[in-house]
Amino acid sequence: MDHPPLTLAPEPLAAAGTSAAGRGGRRLAAWRRPSRGLLLVLPTLLFLGCFLVAPYVNMLVMSFRNPSTTAVFAPGFTVGNYTKALADPYYLGVLAQTIALGALTTAICAIVGYPVAYHLARTRSRLRGLLYVGVLSPLLVGVVIRCYGWIILLANNGLINNAVKKFGGASHGLPLMYNSFGVGVGLVHVFLPFMILPILSAVQSVDLALEDAARSLGASRARTMLRIVIPLSLPGIQAGAILVFVLSISAYVIPILLGALKVKLMPTLVIQLLIDAFLWPFGAALAFILAATGGLIVYLFIHATGRLMRGLG
Amino acid sequence: MTTVTISGLTKRYGGAAAAVDDLSIEIGEGELVSLLGPSGCGKTTTLRSIAGFVEPDAGQILFDGVDITALPPERRNIGMVFQNYALFPHMTVRENLRFGLEMRRVPRNEMTDRIDQVLDTVQLAGLEGRYPRELSGGQQQRVALARGLVIEPAVLLLDEPLANLDAKLREEMRFFIRSLQKRVGITTVYVTHDQAEAMVISDRIVVMFDGRIRQIGDATEIYAHPVSREVADFIGLSNFIDGRVTSRTDADYYLVNTPLGEVRCRSALALAAGDAAMVMVRPESIRLSREPPDDAGSNRIAGRVQDRFYLGNIAGYRVACGDGSVLQVQEEPWHAGAVGDAVWCVFPSDLAWIIRR
């Protein structure tokens, strides 16, 4: 599973969005003014066009095709796939569960990751390099292998449950896997670095003297965190939250391995529909519903958090 | 108003030499004391100990006789101004000023009054809605001062507050801070490495080297009567002439035999004939003359002009003397000497100061 490119910039993503638009604008300008620059971007454009834009367009078109039982799709176009999905409480429920699990994963990553990021940003320990490796360690091993690691721990006859059965008295063990708990554990573990790294760089940009200033003005450590450090590192929290959220709601391998198919999430459902049921138009529509919902939530999140960051230039 | 007493303050970082070594000083009510010294002399560590950011290894800090050494910074009732101002970038000027008052749970309407008043004092009325990045360096500086003052702290601590301003503004702000401090009457500790700043602003200057106090005194004492060559060297330019005491002439005056001749000097030290002595003469204390002076009370050293340079406000000379040593002289800018002239370096015995070697 490939992760999307990781941005560590502590700037608000809203700003990153506009600068991406700015790059697009420059690319257009290059079109208008033929030059050698065009030749330089041509390979990239071709690559992106073939392997990113074309498949997306294909999927988008597919989602408006008529379903067929004998072929991939039947002739003609329809919005029926979308209306069917949006009218069915089952699919809406799966969507809601996907979003809820993504939001919960994001929140837990933020709560768990912030203290780590803060410590890492402020420590002068010689073990700092080692701490970095520790933070990045979930990314050093492939996602499948990491999941099997969790299976060893969480399975019904896994390490924890065997210990619990032996010493804890719960004869059936605890439901640690094949439910949203297990999937949540896997998601938090794997995506935590994507929360920590942006916060880390945001905290590093908060001048230590600001903390001293707050203390000198009568603020306790806790109040200094709440009023000064956390508000000033919001851009990092925002960036990390968006990364973790987007990665969580589109995660496939972790839900499959740790949730089997007992935890119904959009990515697993979409793959099921495409590969097992061979319902390409409907699966494509579901995929776009997930993408659109995720995009909308991210947009609203940027809007809401942007208001909190008004003073940050 | 508050007195600050520091006794036996010592701080070591790691196993290295002490950053601050057994430092004791008493700062009176409403007094402005500067800690002056080169970087690494321990002045900032001392200030941060008073603020509570540095936990001393030994010694006490007392405000009005109450030991506050164990208190965290937020419970010391200090106002602090940082070198880079440390204004909260996500808050407007008014919110920056309100922060300390909120922490002290000052009632809302009193808050507004106090903020308006202090903004007026630092001449920033009208800018309270701006964010720090929308202000000039000088304005940010004054916001930082206002933020430290609005909480009406017992002690104001300033850590190189003018270091980031350009030269012109820096000179203006010296007077501004001094007059503000006098008006408010707040006990103040001021850290700087800029001697002129310390001299303009302070009631007393504490000169520090290697974590120790080398001299405490007002600007005149520090400049005219340094206790050591180190202090004299750090503050202004000096000529040093080695010699031996030959005799005592008056209460504080001695004759010192030097390679450049016998010099009559002043000293606060109790010296005996034969003691090694170092005579310090500031370049601006020396007048150049073609004729030997009539006045028998002045010291005179013969020499030849080696270099002349013009700085606008002074004319500088380097005069080579008999034994090959060079005296630096600062004359009036219109003084017309030329390289190669045979001259007498003339200086009153009042302005020749003996430092023990």
User: What length is written for chain B?
Assistant: 357
Chain A contact probe: residue of B99, B114, B141, B158 with most A CBs at under 10 A = B99
Core vs surface per residue B67-83: b (16+ CB within 10 A) or e: ebbeeebbebbbbbbbb
Contact between chains at B88 and A210 (C-beta distance less than 8 A): yes
B57 beta partners: none
Chain A contact probe: residue of B48, B87, B90, B158 with most A CBs at under 10 A = B90
Q: Selecting from 1.10.3720.10, 1.10.150.120, 3.40.50.300, 3.40.50.12140, what CATH number does the domain A89-312 have? A: 1.10.3720.10
Residues of A in contact with B151 (CB under 8 A): 217-218
Contact between chains at A216 and B80 (C-beta distance less than 8 A): yes
Q: Give the pLDDT confidence of B189-198 residue by residue, as tens digits.
A: 999 999 999 9
With beta carbons less than 8 A apart as the criterion, state whether A158 and A174 touch: no
What pLDDT score was predicted for residue A14? 41
pLDDT in tens, chain B (357 residues): 899 999 999 999 887 788 999 999 999 999 999 999 998 899 999 999 999 999 999 999 999 999 999 999 999 999 999 999 999 999 999 999 999 999 999 999 999 999 999 999 888 989 999 999 999 999 999 999 999 999 999 999 999 999 888 888 888 899 999 999 999 899 999 999 999 999 999 999 999 999 999 999 999 999 999 999 999 999 989 999 999 999 988 888 999 999 998 999 999 888 888 889 999 999 999 999 988 887 777 899 999 999 999 999 999 999 999 888 999 999 999 988 889 999 999 999 989 999 987
pLDDT tier for residue A260 given thresholds of 50, 70 and 90: confident
Residue of A209, A311, A312 with shortest CB distance to B84: A209
Question: Quick one: closest CA in B to A231, which residue?
Answer: B90
**pTM of this prediction exceeds 0.80:** yes
Residue of B84, B90, B103 with shortest CB distance to A217: B103
Contact between chains at B84 and A207 (C-beta distance less than 8 A): yes
Residue of B89, B103, B157 with shortest CB distance to A218: B103
Long-range contacts of B130-137, Cβ-Cβ distance < 8 Å, separation of 24 or more: B130/B92, B130/B93, B131/A311, B131/A313, B131/B89, B131/B90, B131/B91, B131/B92, B131/B93, B132/B85, B132/B87, B132/B88, B132/B89, B132/B91, B132/B93, B132/B96, B133/A313, B133/B89, B135/B93, B137/B164, B137/B165, B137/B166, B137/B169
Residues of B in contact with A229 (CB under 8 A): none
A129 and B CB contact within 8 Å: no
Residue of A212, A223, A313 with shortest CB distance to B86: A212
Residues of B in contact with A310 (CB under 8 A): 90
Residues of B in contact with A219 (CB under 8 A): 74, 99, 103
Residue of B104, B131, B157 with shortest CB distance to A218: B104
Arithmetic mean of pLDDT over chain A: 86
Q: Give the pLDDT confidence of B234-248 residue by residue, as tens digits.
A: 998 999 999 999 998
Residues 208-237 of A with CB under 8 A from B: 209-210, 212-220, 223, 227-228, 231-232
**How many H-runs (helices) and E-runs (strands) does chain B carry?**
8, 20
Long-range contacts of B49-54, Cβ-Cβ distance < 8 Å, separation of 24 or more: B49/B6, B49/B9, B49/B11, B49/B20, B50/B4, B50/B6, B50/B78, B50/B155, B50/B157, B50/B189, B51/A212, B51/A216, B51/B76, B51/B78, B51/B80, B51/B157, B52/A215, B52/B76, B52/B78, B53/A212, B53/A215, B54/B11
A309 and B CB contact within 8 Å: yes
User: Chain B: which residues have CB within 8 Å of chain A?
Assistant: 51-53, 72-75, 77-80, 82-84, 86-92, 99-100, 103-104, 131, 133, 147-148, 151, 157
Contact between chains at B86 and A227 (C-beta distance less than 8 A): no
With beta carbons less than 8 A apart as the criterion, state whether A264 and A97 touch: yes
pLDDT tier for residue A21 given thresholds of 50, 70 and 90: very low
* Nearest chain A CA: its distance from B55 CA (Å): 14
Contact between chains at A218 and B53 (C-beta distance less than 8 A): no
Residue of B74, B84, B91 with shortest CB distance to A218: B74
